[in-house]
């Protein structure tokens, strides 16, 4: 698989030997030159992965405060998948145990020297840290390594930038990138455009200040644009709230099979690929359940461990669909490496966007790949196991969704006089009218309503016999 460098009492380094498809960037006149976004052969990307070619990447993971080294390795495995999705190749990784991060470089001087040696040995272009780097740490690392240093947040933002397709999605990603880059701007500029001569003496204006002002203006414009889009979305949801259909959102870890499930149930035609964050834009379709109930089913963006705060903030208007749902179908990859960890990650993000109290139905996917999905469902009462790919277990999933939806409402009889057409309209708007008959006094309706609607209409509810 690779070669181990000399052991480090705080961690280890290893490289993946592979032929260099681009020639030796390090074999010229300068052994530290390379073709990454930070080097003399690369373009300026603002700290994100260069996609003119397949960059060579080294991953860095740190286990802090006596944490679990195995979990650090699992996070690096996921980070390697993220890097591959972004369009680069991992050629090595370094791990370390520390009591706390080094304020200057996160990993300390000795480990930086080891990282630089591995970077030269593998001719890597960029180093990617699994933990978020402060702007100062990023600058210090780039100066000492002569290579781009980014973190998991930078990689995820890069992937989102590639996959965003709608106007709203593109604006949300750009806003998140700008918020991430603004405090890091100082390290990217070390020159000024100060005026001189009679009548122009004074501090002048540095290029840094020009760029910062331009960036802040762009942030404010994007925030205004997203507010306008948010108002339009709010009006759409207000119309949906007046609909008699319950709202169900599909949530889950990235690549768990959410879009495949939506396509299986509704022929929505959503892009499905076996890669992380293939879907960013929410898609809603109407679905009739086996019991006759109709629901609005929405696919949402996937979550991941250490999801950047900038993205959660920027995508809040999109994620609001989960907070406003009547039921969350939490899709879990039953064949994945850490299903329980992924479940907690999703629940943490849902709590952050105000959806932590929405009822949840656990649905363990990929029953066709591993029967562990069935065992997980057995250990979580009320959950189901299914395969979005083959359709196995789909009937049970739909029946369970129907049971959960019906449990949220009651069937009641209402008697409404002829002169209260507004009440009749309200019953049709807020619930599902099952039977409607006329009497001399008015309309007699049998309807399925939720508890709040029954409370508002209690004056016209006919007491049940017995």
Where are the chain's structural domains?
3-159, 167-189+204-236, 244-406, 409-460
Torsion of CA 213, 216, 220, 222, to 10 degrees: 120
Residue 113 has pLDDT above 90, yes or no: yes
pTM comes to: 0.74
Query: What is the chain's Cα-based Rg?
Result: 28
Packing angle, helices 152-163 and 69-86, rounded to 10? 30
In this prediction, residue 269 has a pLDDT band, given cuts at 50, 70 and 90, of low
**Domain 3-159 and domain 244-406 have a common topology:** yes
* Closest to 142 measured CA to CA, from 127, 152, 129, 153: 127
Residue 270 has pLDDT above 90, yes or no: no
pLDDT attached to residue 192: 42
Question: Regarding predicted confidence, which is higher, 31 or 178?
Answer: 178
**Beta carbons of 412 and 455 less than 8 angstroms apart:** no
CA quadruple 317, 323, 329, 331: dihedral positive or negative?
positive
Residue 15 has pLDDT above 80, yes or no: no
Residue 21 has pLDDT above 70, yes or no: no
pLDDT attached to residue 19: 42
CATH topology of domain 409-460: Alpha-Beta Plaits (3.30.70)
Sheet with 409-417, side-by-side order of all strands: 409-417, 442-450, 432-438
pLDDT in tens, 30-71: 545 555 543 343 333 344 566 567 889 999 999 998 888 998
pLDDT attached to residue 112: 95
Residue 73 has pLDDT above 70, yes or no: yes
What number is the average pLDDT over the span 431-448?
90
What number is the average pLDDT over the span 395-416?
91
Superfamily of domain 244-406: P-loop containing nucleotide triphosphate hydrolases (3.40.50.300)
pLDDT attached to residue 195: 45
d(CA 423, CA 285): 29
Residue 326 has pLDDT above 70, yes or no: yes
In this prediction, residue 337 has a pLDDT band, given cuts at 50, 70 and 90, of confident
In this prediction, residue 29 has a pLDDT band, given cuts at 50, 70 and 90, of very low
pLDDT attached to residue 47: 43
> What phi and psi, each to the nearest 5 degrees, are found at residue 122?
-100, -5
Burial class (CB in 10 A: 0-12, 13-18, 19+), 425: exposed
**For the chain, how many helices (H) and strands (E)?**
14, 17
Question: Regarding predicted confidence, which is higher, 256 or 10?
Answer: 256
> What phi and psi, each to the nearest 5 degrees, are found at residue 181?
-80, -25
pLDDT attached to residue 406: 85
pLDDT attached to residue 52: 66
| Other beta carbons less than 10 A from residue 334's beta carbon | 26
pLDDT attached to residue 210: 85
Which residues 6+ apart lie within 8 Å of 156 measured at CB?
Answer: 82, 277, 304, 307, 308, 311
CATH architecture of residue range(s) 3-159: 3-Layer(aba) Sandwich (3.40)
Residue 187 has pLDDT above 90, yes or no: no
């Amino acid at each position: 698989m690779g070669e181990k460098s000399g052991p480090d009492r705080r961690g280890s380094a290893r490289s993946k030997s592979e032929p260099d498809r681009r020639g030796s960037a390090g074999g010229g006149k300068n052994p530290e030159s390379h073709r990454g976004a930070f080097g003399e052969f690369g373009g300026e990307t603002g700290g994100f992965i260069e996609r003119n070619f397949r960059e060579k990447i080294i991953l860095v993971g740190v286990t802090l405060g006596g944490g679990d080294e195995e979990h650090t390795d699992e996070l690096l495995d996921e980070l390697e998948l993220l890097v591959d999705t972004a369009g680069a190749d991992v050629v090595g990784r370094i791990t370390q145990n520390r009591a706390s991060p080094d304020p200057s470089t996160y990993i300390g001087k000795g480990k930086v020297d080891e990282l630089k040696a591995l970077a030269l040995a593998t001719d890597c272009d960029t180093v990617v840290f699994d933990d978020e780097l402060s702007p100062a740490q990023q600058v210090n690392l780039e100066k000492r390594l002569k290579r781009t240093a980014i973190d998991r947040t930078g990689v995820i933002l890069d992937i989102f930038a590639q996959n965003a397709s709608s106007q709203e999605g593109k604006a949300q990603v750009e806003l998140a990138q700008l918020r991430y880059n603004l405090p890091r701007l100082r390290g990217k500029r070390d020159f000024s455009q100060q005026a001189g001569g009679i009548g122009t003496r004074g501090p002048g204006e540095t290029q840094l200040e020009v760029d910062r002002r331009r960036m802040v203006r762009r942030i404010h414009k994007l925030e205004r644009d997203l507010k306008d889009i948010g108002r339009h979305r709010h009006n759409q949801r207000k119309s949906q709230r007046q609909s008699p259909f319950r709202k169900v959102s599909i949530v889950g870890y990235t690549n768990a099979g959410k879009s495949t499930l939506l396509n299986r149930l509704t022929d929505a035609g959503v892009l499905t690929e076996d890669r992380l964050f293939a879907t960013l834009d929410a898609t809603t379709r109407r679905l009739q359940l086996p019991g006759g109930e109709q629901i609005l089913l929405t696919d949402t963006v996937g979550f991941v461990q250490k999801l950047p705060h900038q993205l959660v903030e920027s995508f809040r208007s999109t994620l609001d669909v989960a907070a406003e749902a009547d039921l969350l179908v939490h899709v879990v990859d039953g064949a994945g490496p850490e299903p329980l960890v992924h479940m907690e990650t999703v629940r943490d993000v849902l709590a952050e966007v105000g959806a932590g109290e929405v009822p949840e139905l656990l649905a363990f996917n990929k029953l066709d790949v591993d029967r562990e999905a069935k065992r997980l469902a057995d250990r979580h009462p009320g959950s189901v196991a299914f395969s979005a790919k083959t359709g196995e277990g789909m009937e049970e999933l739909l029946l369970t969704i129907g049971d959960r939806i019906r449990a949220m409402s009651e069937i009641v009889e209402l008697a409404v006089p002829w002169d209260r057409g507004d009440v009749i309209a309200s019953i049709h708007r807020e619930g599902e009218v099952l039977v409607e008959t006329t009497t001399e006094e008015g309309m007699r309706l049998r309807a399925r309503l939720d508890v709040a609607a029954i409370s508002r209409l209690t004056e016209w509810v006919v007491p049940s016999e017995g």
